[in-house]
Amino acid sequence: MSTVELATSQPGTVLPGITAAFTRGALVRYAGASTDFNPIHWSDRAAADLGLPGVIAHGMLTMGTALRVVTDWCGDPARVLSYYVRFTRPVVVPDDDEGATVSLGGTVTKVDDGVATVSIEALFDGVKVLGAATAEVRLD
């Protein structure tokens, strides 16, 4: 989005949503990229030991992917000033070709002094997996 369009953002502006499919392969790729090799993200046995229903996605994978809603919209990742999420529910990733599909969206909730606050929503199976997810984005 151009700077001119960004500058007209108002509370209520809805950002284009995206969907992301987390497969087991995607988790392995994120493990390597992030250096988070916790086995609950690749071993059913390790996940079961912790009482999880199966391998779960890295919370940081969900967090990082959800921010694409904001960076796609504002065009420049350098505009992102802050980002907060609570990891409220795990995203369980089956060992199949489809993986787990997460729907991501965002809405501007505040514009103040050239900074937009964006509330981000991440849904898996219709349930929120990120709580209070909020990014601050420089508009000018």
Positions in the binding site for another protein (CB under 8 A): 20, 26, 29-30, 32-36, 38, 59-61, 63-65, 67-68, 71, 76-78, 80-87, 131
**Least distance in angstroms from the C-beta of 12 to another protein:** 24
Q: Which is nearer to another protein, 71 or 117 (CB)?
A: 71
| Burial class (CB within 10 angstroms; exposed 0-12, middle 13-18, buried 19+) of 98 | exposed
**Least distance in angstroms from the C-beta of 10 to another protein:** 24
Alpha carbons 67 and 72: distance in angstroms, whole number = 8
Q: Which is nearer to another protein, 5 or 10 (CB)?
A: 5
| Burial class (CB within 10 angstroms; exposed 0-12, middle 13-18, buried 19+) of 134 | middle
